[in-house]
A and B are shown apart, each in its own frame.
Chain A
Amino acid sequence: MSLALPTTAADQDDADTRTDAWTCPFCALLCESWRPVATDPPGLQGSDCPRALAGLAALGPSDTASPRALVDGAPADLVTALDAAADRLRAWRQPLFGGLGTDIAGARALYRLAARCGAVCDHADGEWLSQATRAVQDRGQFITTLGELRSRATLLVFVGTPGTARYPELFRRAGLGEPESPCRGLVFLGSAPPAALPAGVEVDVVAGSGDLAADLQQLAALVDPQRLRGADPALAALAERLLAAPYAVLVWEGATLPSESALVIEMLHRTVGTLNRSTRAASFALGGNDGAHGVQQTFTWLSGLPLRTRVSASGLVHEPRSHGSDRLLAGGAVDGLLWISSFDPARLPPTTTLPHIVLGPPAMRQALADAGQLGDTVWVAVATPGVNAAGHLFRIDGPVVLPVQAWRDEGLPGVARVLSGLADRLEASS
């Protein structure tokens, strides 16, 4: 028997109709509960997050008057700049696409262009991203998300990171100190706790030996039932707490780990894996800013391989070490650099003598000039997702993709449009 149900607006465009929705793009926490204010410098309503304020301040007020593109320092219109950039891309035999601060639409367009140019692609945070990827490729991992962490974690261990230094809203997002939070303890292993700590949560510090790798090696052994002689008593006590916790989360941050951190990360994953034999535990990585998670994910789904891969019709070559930007530039292995930083105008390309194509917000123009980086460079102003363009970004924890919204309009092209313009030109001439 048929029945008429109360209906939704299912036949119209049924998007979230809240007009005040805003997702902050300035770190991978992608906070959704406050809004920007179009003052000079831009402010925030509902938060005083220093990272978001700094991100907004760096972009500056709405700017529609300055040149939108420069070719070797001289103002140019978009078409001229794209023509010049396409000429340079054609001439480069082995380009590096670096920075990669863009959203998913940008990453999709980037892949098409990279395939056309035979480019190697690496994010500005590629070093830690690559170390984390190698740890996963070797042994795997068990991870959790913000919602799980907030509703389930009874013990949080911050491994080598104070947590909030780069992610000011982290404790609030984790619900720490709220009456219903299940979290009763924070432990800082090998890092000093930040000054501002949540109330009502016990905080401990395990100083460790100063060698995080050695400390994690001990911890991984200590959570195994086998005994370890001569262990650091503080680490032994931490192991006991982890084994007794119904749901412990090991929080780590790629940016604060020592170099060659893949083994450190692997030991952290091994500790979690051992804990999961008898109780519940997971890891939670801090990172993925400037679109890093989204570009990594997009390249992986399109091609099958993550970043630090050379993309060309002759094959996909994934080299997590030798395809690092620094190594390629230092070794003279590339002859041109396409650099993208659409969130952060201060994140400039590495100083090299190579020719550049640079995509960044309008405020980058002055930063490039100040750094003397306008020679042999095509610079194109692009929109910032979450400021003057809509888009999609991956949140810090990995599985969650959120829309970001434009709240001002300066008529700037998005990264995807610029890169597609370049790919169209290359395809037309081939």
Chain B
Amino acid sequence: MSPTVRIRGGRVVDPVNGIDGIADLGVRDGRIVALAPHEPVGQEIDATGCVVMAGGIDMHSHIGGGKINLARLLLPEDHRRGFAPAALRDNPLELPSCGDCAPGTLATGYRYAEMGYTAAFEPAMSAGNARHAHLEMGDVPILDHGAYVMLGNDELFLRLLHDGAPPELLRDYVGHVVHATKAMGVKVVNPGGISAFKFNQRRLDVDERHVHWEITPRQILGALARALHELGLAHPLHIHASNLGIPGNIDSTLATIDALDGFRGHLTHVQFHAYGQDGPKKFSSAALRLAEKVNATPTVSIDVGQILFGQTVTASGDTMRQHANAGHGSPRKWIGADLECDAGCGVVPFRYREQSYVNALQWAIGLELFLLVDDPWRIVLTTDHPNGAPFTSYPHLIRLLMDKPFRDEQLARLHPDVAAQSALKDIRRELSLSEIAILTRGAPARLLGLADRGQLGAGAAADIAVYRPAANAEAMFSTPAWVFKDGVPVVRDGRVIATPVGGTHFATPGFDPGIEATITRHTERHMRDVPRHRVIGRDELCACCNGGRLLPAACFPQVA
């Protein structure tokens, strides 16, 4: 039993519980507890003048699995400084690990915790790569984690849909895959497009037909969203829409929202999907159109996928679009893969440049989205690490959102046409601390169904970040005074002081186990002699995840 801790006198910013004021916070046995004012405690931390928030939650970050490891392999230059080794922290608690845009898993955990984050979720786990993804996430110290399994490009789902399978069968299939891969959600990437690329189709819009399976992304989206609704997963369908990065793709993005037919959906890295084709360069911001649609559609949530300038690497399941974009890569090299009749993978290094009109406009579009969406509970702060920028740039991004003069200063450095034309210069909104707490804690917790995370009410998990206030929000959010993970102090003054193993979130849907026979029958041709989706048991998951706690989440089935 750990000693009771009182974090005294901080400004507690806990929008889930409607709190923004000076209060004490009690911590006992990994949980937040209500303490009487003079109740003796084992340790008292003076947080006078500090801001106290729940631990940060990154709901879309490529922290573990095949793609990001290929990115590491592709970019040794990310892990050294010219001819010299990368500098490591002088901290005997940290095992050697380095990298900026594709850091090792160990560095990933250390750097996230140093910013006050206590959970991150891998958004693109392919079913065949599930064990690998869990193994890597298990080697991300401190953070809790979980993954969304990719469906909607797997040959079996497409075949079932093509054959007119009833919704119950699709539901059971989705449930089985979530169960077998120990996923906590389902993501669809370029619906049908990854599969279509395997048949040499180079483009697939929402109402175009897959050249082989003769079904449309609209059908795939509708069927998956319904299946997840019926299974009762907390997190709605996580959607990487069609036509990523293409000027004019706003029409596809709006059509994607309509294709959900009223079911819930979470559109991810929408910055890459909010492009018009107006103006002399045929590339313009469609942030306002998307924000208006999101504001008018309460069943839809988004995360932004903000880009920030500098070197990064893009890692995506969207083979079709990554192949098309590989020529823009910097340095000029890339990795692609067709995966096991399930999925795909494309890794393209990229450098976002301030003087590039396109990149500067992408930067502005992301910020416009943050500032134009009304309901902070339906928008989450992400850079789609590492696709828009490494997660370590979050404090900088938070300052851009909270500080209009700083934002204007940055805008003035960019390609002059963007600076002159962007609607951003006229947007005066500055997000409050409470809104930042929603975008980085409350909203992702709610969207993932993590009832006891992202908040500081009595009984919640004691994942806590204590920040020293500063006029510069970037400085404030870079080096918290204290970070607690499940009640254990893990960071002190921006330095890691303990490295517990994080827990693994996964969903536990019910489904008809008879689906396994259907799966075997339909995959016989391409996977004979190989058990499909060999189920990851709980003991095995625990071994993969380095003995971290298993955090199963109940599902609440619904009828469509």
A11 within 8 Å of B (CB atoms): yes
Q: Is A145 an interface residue (CB 8 A)?
A: yes
- Segment of B282-290, B450-458, B528-536 in the binding face: B528-536
Q: When A108-B139, A173-B529, A314-B88 are in contact, do A304 and B558 touch as well, CB less than 8 Å?
A: no
A residues 139-184 with Cβ under 8 Å of B? 139-148, 150-152, 172-173, 175, 178, 180
Q: From residue 299 to 325 of chain A, which have CB atoms closer than 8 A to chain B?
A: 300-306, 311-318
Q: Do B534 and A31 touch (CB < 8 A)?
A: no
Within the complex, the shortest CB–CB distance from B203 to chain A, in Å, comes to 15
Contact residues on B (Cβ < 8 Å of other chain), bracket: 35 or more
A112 touching B95 by the CB < 8 A rule?
A: yes
Interface contact A303-B338, CB-CB below 8 Å: no
CA distance A8 to B178 in the complex (A): 12
B404 surroundings in chain A (CB, below 8 A): none
Q: Which of B72, B80, B198, B534 touches A280 (beta carbons < 8 Å)? A: B198
Bound-complex Cα distance A31 to B531 (A)? 11
B336 at the interface (CB under 8 A from A): yes
Residue pair A246, B200 in contact (C-beta under 8 Å): yes
Q: Which of B72, B128, B508, B556 contacts A305 (CB 8 A)?
A: B72
Q: Does A330 contact B (CB under 8 A)?
A: no
Contact with A along B56-87 (1 / 0, CB 8 A): 00000000101011001111101110001111
Known: A111-B95, A303-B98, A316-B85. A150 touches B527 (CB 8 A): yes
- B179 contacts which chain A residues (CB < 8 A)? 8, 10, 14
Max count, chain B CB within 10 A of own CB: residue among A32, A276, A298, A316? A316
A3 at the interface (CB under 8 A from B): yes
Q: Is residue A339 within 8 Å, beta carbon to beta carbon, of the partner chain? A: no
Inter-subunit contact B558/A318 (CB<8 Å):
no
0/1 string, B322-345, CB within 8 A of A gives 1: 010000000001111111111001
Query: Is A247 an interface residue, CB under 8 A from the partner?
Result: yes
How many interface residues does A have (CB within 8 Å)? 80
CA distance A140 to B334 in the complex (A): 5
The stretch from A53-61, A67-75, A400-408 touching chain B is A400-408
Q: Which residue of A lies closest to B63 (CB)?
A: A301
Please, what's the 1-or-0 string for A258-289, where 1 marks a CB less than 8 Å from any CB in chain B? 00000000000000000010011010000000
Name the A residues within 8 Å of B230 (CB-CB): 3, 5
In the assembled complex, which residues on chain B have CB atoms less than 8 Å from the CB atom of A279? 200
A297 within 8 A of B: yes
Q: Does B106 contact A (CB under 8 A)?
A: yes
Stretch in A92-100, A193-201, A205-213, A391-399 with 4+ CB within 8 Å of B: A391-399
B74 touches A136 (CB 8 A): yes
In the complex, what residues of B have CB within 8 A of residue A146's CB? Answer: 340, 530
- Which B residue's beta carbon lies closest to that of A150? B526
> When the two chains form their complex, are residues A32 and B79 in contact, meaning their CB atoms are under 8 A apart?
no
Q: Known contacts being A33-B529, A104-B135, is A5 close to B338, with CB within 8 Å?
A: no
How near does chain A come to B177, taking the closest CB pair, in angstroms?
Answer: 12
Report yes or no: B86 in contact with A399, Cβ–Cβ below 8 A.
no
User: In the assembled complex, how far is the CB of residue B79 from the closest CB belonging to chain A, in whole angstroms?
Assistant: 4
B559, A400: Cβ atoms under 8 Å?
Answer: no
| CB–CB A2/B78 < 8 A | no
A1 contacts the other chain (Cβ, under 8 Å)? Answer: yes
Given known contacts A5-B510, A11-B508, is B341 in contact with A300 (CB within 8 Å)?
Answer: no
CB within 8 Å of B: which of A8-49?
Answer: 8-16, 18, 21, 31-33
Contacts of A147 in B (CB 8 A): 128, 340-342, 526-527, 530
- Residue picked from B80, B92, B128, most chain A C-beta under 10 Å: B128
Q: Does A370 contact B (CB under 8 A)?
A: no
Contact A32:B530 (CB < 8 A) given known A6-B513, A115-B96, A313-B96: yes
Smallest CB-CB separation from B92: which chain A residue?
A313
Assembled-state Cα–Cα distance A313/B441 (Å): 34
Question: Does B512 interact with chain A (Cβ within 8 Å)?
Answer: yes
- B386 sits at the interface (CB 8 A): no
> A105 an interface residue at 8 Å Cβ cutoff?
yes
The residues of B that contact A133 with a CB separation of less than 8 Å are 73
Query: CB-CB < 8 A to B88: which residues of A?
Result: 313-316
Question: Does chain B have a CB within 8 A of A137?
Answer: yes
Q: A16-B531, A16-B535, A301-B139 are in contact. Are A398 and B341 (CB under 8 A)?
A: no
Given A6-B512, A14-B537, A304-B103, 6 other A-B contacts at CB below 8 A? A1-B559, A3-B558, A32-B529, A313-B88, A318-B79, A399-B340
Q: List 19 A-B contacts (CB under 8 A).
A: A8-B511, A13-B537, A111-B95, A133-B73, A137-B75, A145-B337, A147-B342, A246-B200, A276-B323, A279-B200, A280-B198, A282-B337, A282-B338, A300-B104, A301-B135, A305-B76, A313-B96, A316-B97, A318-B76
Interface residues of A (CB under 8 A from B): 1-16, 18, 21, 31-33, 104-105, 108, 111-112, 115, 133, 136-148, 150-152, 172-173, 175, 178, 180, 246-247, 276, 279-280, 282, 297-298, 300-306, 311-318, 392, 394, 398-403
What 3 A-B pairs are tightest by C-beta distance, nearest first?
Answer: A15-B537, A151-B526, A315-B85
Interface residues of B (CB under 8 A from A): 64, 66, 68-69, 72-76, 78-80, 84-88, 92, 95-99, 102-107, 126, 128-129, 131-132, 135-136, 139, 155, 175, 179, 197-200, 230-231, 323, 333-342, 345, 347, 508-513, 525-531, 534-540, 543-544, 546, 552, 556-559
